[in-house]
Amino acid sequence: MADSDEHGALSKAFSGLGVDEKTLITILGKWHPEQRKTFRKGSRDFFIEDERQFERWSDRHVTQLRNEFLRIKEAIVLWTMHPWERDARLLKESLNKLGSAQYNILIEVACTRSSDELLGARKAYHSLFHRSIEEDVAFHVHGPDQKLLIALVSSYRYEGPKVSEELAKTEAKAISSAIKEGDSELLIRVMSTRSIIHLNHVYKYYKEINGKDLDEDVEGDLLKESIQCLCIPATYFTKILGESLKCDADEPSKDAVTRVIVTRADHDMKQIKEEYSEKYGGSLANKIEDVANGSYKDFLLTLIARGD
């Protein structure tokens, strides 16, 4: 008969991000039918008593477990893809799943890729889906968010070191006035055309003028998050990971763990880990140890260690 320690180990293996394959194989592989029946009867979090008097998985947990088994596959597939294809497929998936939470993917690709990387993603999107990103954004996104997202995904920024301090100061003042009047047109134009180094100067001068960060003063989550992703990406990704690694995170939020770690592992993971530690008072690696399981956990820990 399976003992309570094995039941507890199985429950833990089924819980969190990913599944603990080794524990499942070790325990379930040796159990006889009566032991499996005892586990089903004693695990009301996972199984319910059917009206025909047998224990069955709850529909919610069947869906959840399918998602958890797929996490390691998804992470490995994304990691091995050409970055252009990966971004194109992430963008398509986000547009097929309507809802503001999915727009984070568009923001991340548009705001953190180099000009050539974003152009490459657009080329891959053409090749894979026979449409343009801009066309699909216009079709799926409506209202004021549409203009912002089309402008961002269409951008091809200057990436050299030169920046005009005077122009940055002038634009910071003009944006400040426009925001007070409830007008975001100028801000969107600057966000979608200026270099990242120029935007960082505008961000700095805006705070000097107003005593508050630019993203604190604007209305709308999408606009706030776009500014953060452009000007303070480590802060943005830390916030995304913090929400994603909560015990009660919803499925789109959980999916962001894979996406963020895979796409940032070769770029700014060191800064993200430092920001995470400062904000949450513990390391990102320790948090993943706590909430993730099995091969998925091991792969995530391997990727974030690349930033050391």
Domains of the chain: 4-57 (1.10.220.10), 234-307 (1.10.220.10)
Distances (CA, A) of 231 to 28, 132, 148: 49, 27, 16
Residue 3: per-residue pLDDT: 66
| CA–CA dist 18, 299 (Å, integer) | 11
Eight-state DSSP code of residue 17? B
Q: Is 182 left (phi over 0), alpha (psi -120 to 50) or beta?
A: left
pLDDT in tens, 42-59: 887 788 888 888 888 888
Handedness of CA 190, 192, 195, 197 (dihedral sign): positive
- Three-state SS at 43: coil
pLDDT < 70 regions, the chain? 1-3, 98-101, 307
- Find residue 56's DSSP bridge partners: 48
List the one residue out of 177, 232, 246, 249 whose CA is nearest residue 210: 177
| CA–CA dist 216, 32 (Å, integer) | 59
Eight-state DSSP code of residue 32? -
- CA 303, distance to chain mean position in Å, is 15
| CA–CA dist 75, 90 (Å, integer) | 12
CA-based max dimension of the chain? 77
